[in-house]
Amino acid sequence: MLIVHKYGGTSVGSLERIKSVADRVAKARRDGNSLVVVVSAMSGETNKLIDFAKYFSPNPSKREMDMLLSSGEMVTASLLAIALNEMGVDAVAMSGGQAGIVTDSFHTYARIKSIDTTSIKRELDRDRVVVVAGFQGINRSGEITTLGRGGSDLSAVAIAGAIGADACEIYSDVDGIYTTDPRVEPKAKKMSYISYEEMLELASLGAKVLQNRSVELAKKLNVKIVAKSSFSESEGTIIGEEREDMEAVLVSGIALDKNQARVSLKDVSDRPGIAAEIFTKLAEENINVDMIIQNASSNGLTMLGFTVPESELPKAKEIIENFDHDIGGKSFDSNICKVSIVGVGMKSHSGVAATAFSALARENINIEMISTSEIKVSMVIDQKYAELAVRTLHSVYELDK
Ligand code: ASP
Ligand code: MG
């Protein structure tokens, strides 16, 4: 098989770790696979380089930052190839540019435009392991660019798509995706398979495992991802296309987001344009509004509530406080959280949401806001019930079974 391996910062965090990655790659070779290996910088390295730059300038040029940051991945790629060669496994290290990754010119947050796979394929044909420095490419003028933090996952998925790999195995220090955060519910189970859509909705559960942008790209290119640990031999979680047998599972996972705050507006004039005015002002300040609810009006007045990330509440508050017409009362609450149940089975089954509402009601947890999508139901509740709500929902959908 043709496989892409990707090793994150902790997996290549020391020389010993790089050696054990080399052992793993050598084993996959012996098993008869062709391999492209994408690596991150050693853990902490990218942050260290950013600090180095800050020593000289609070606002360093982005082009130079890309020169600097790309070096972290070059170190691990070269060292891994050297280690492999020493073990008798023929390997060649490449920068992103040498591997044919062409990006736009947005330094430090570039997007991959295309991949010219000529060099990778040539080296694979020579039976070599191709080790590619992740997180980087070159623009059309040959300038080095980087892809944004966590971007090595994106390099790996993009390469897997371009060469038509059978799988893209992404190694970190976590052995897969769990039905919920095991720190909140120790009975959380590792999933063996999850669809791209579910993974995107459960982003918080995979935050330490996969960069979300790379899941979006995998979905687009139909690249099968396997999230695995480089510290164990455990099976990992496959992230792939929705399968028919998945519909039997109503809920696949429970996500918790404590970083949410709510804005409640009372006695808002019920006339065309008012919501547009409020949300345009918020959008102009790049505030990410998530859930929005508006009540049916009475006497020409209505209630409007919405959530924003907690870190953006001060900015939202300032905008709303300065809004001097058409709003009667304003209140702000950061002691809330959002609990979401996610599953593709919801598309074809009714009553999934009702089960969640009843389970929370039995625990006397009040649901303050609700929003739904095809495969997700999100509920805003008092933050002090966050863990209880997660455990309650986890058990009512039998995710611990
Ligand atoms: N080294 C880069 C970062 O820390 C890219 C990566 O590890 O994926 O963001
Ligand atoms: Mg990472």
User: Which ligand sits closest to the CA of 96?
Assistant: 1
Distance (angstroms) between ligand 2 centre and the Cα of 150 equals 4
The whole-angstrom separation of Cα 154 and Cα 133 is 12
Among protein residues, the one with the nearest Cα to ligand 1's atom 5 is: 150
Atom of ligand 1 nearest to the CA of 135: 5
* H, E, C per residue of 277-336: HHHHHHHHCCCCCCCEEECCCECCEEEEEEEEEHHHHHHHHHHHHCCCCCEEEEEEEEEE
- The pTM assigned to this predicted structure is 0.90
Among protein residues, the one with the nearest Cα to ligand 1's atom 8 is: 150
User: Which ligand sits closest to the CA of 153?
Assistant: 1
* Ordered per-residue pLDDT tens for the chain, 401 residues: 999 999 999 999 999 999 999 999 999 999 999 999 999 999 999 999 999 999 999 999 999 999 999 999 999 999 999 999 999 999 999 999 999 999 999 999 999 999 999 999 999 999 999 999 999 999 999 999 999 999 999 999 999 999 999 999 999 999 999 999 999 999 999 999 999 999 999 987 877 789 999 999 999 999 999 999 999 999 999 999 998 887 778 899 999 999 999 999 999 998 899 999 999 999 999 999 999 999 888 889 999 999 999 999 999 999 999 988 899 999 999 999 999 999 998 988 889 999 999 999 999 999 999 999 899 999 999 999 999 999 999 999 999 98
Give yes or no for residue 213 CB within 6 A of ligand 1. Answer: no
Among protein residues, the one with the nearest Cα to ligand 1's atom 9 is: 149
Give the single-character DSSP code of 216: H
Distance (angstroms) between ligand 1 centre and the Cα of 6 equals 12
Distance (angstroms) between ligand 1 centre and the Cα of 152 equals 6
Distance (angstroms) between ligand 2 centre and the Cα of 153 equals 7
User: Which ligand sits closest to the CA of 210?
Assistant: 2
Give yes or no for residue 170 CB within 6 A of ligand 1. Answer: no
> 3-state class of 239 per DSSP?
strand
Buried b (16+ CB within 10 A) or exposed e, 33-67: bbbbbbbbbbbebbeebeeebeeeeeebebeebbe
> 3-state class of 88 per DSSP?
coil
Atom of ligand 1 nearest to the CA of 41: 1
CB 90 within 8 A of CB 126: yes
Other beta carbons less than 10 A from residue 192's beta carbon: 11
Give yes or no for residue 11 CB within 6 A of ligand 1. Answer: no
Going from the N-terminus, what domains does the chain have, and what CATH number goes with each?
Answer: 2-173 (3.40.1160.10), 254-396 (3.30.2130.10)
Among protein residues, the one with the nearest Cα to ligand 1's atom 6 is: 150
**pLDDT at position 158:** 98
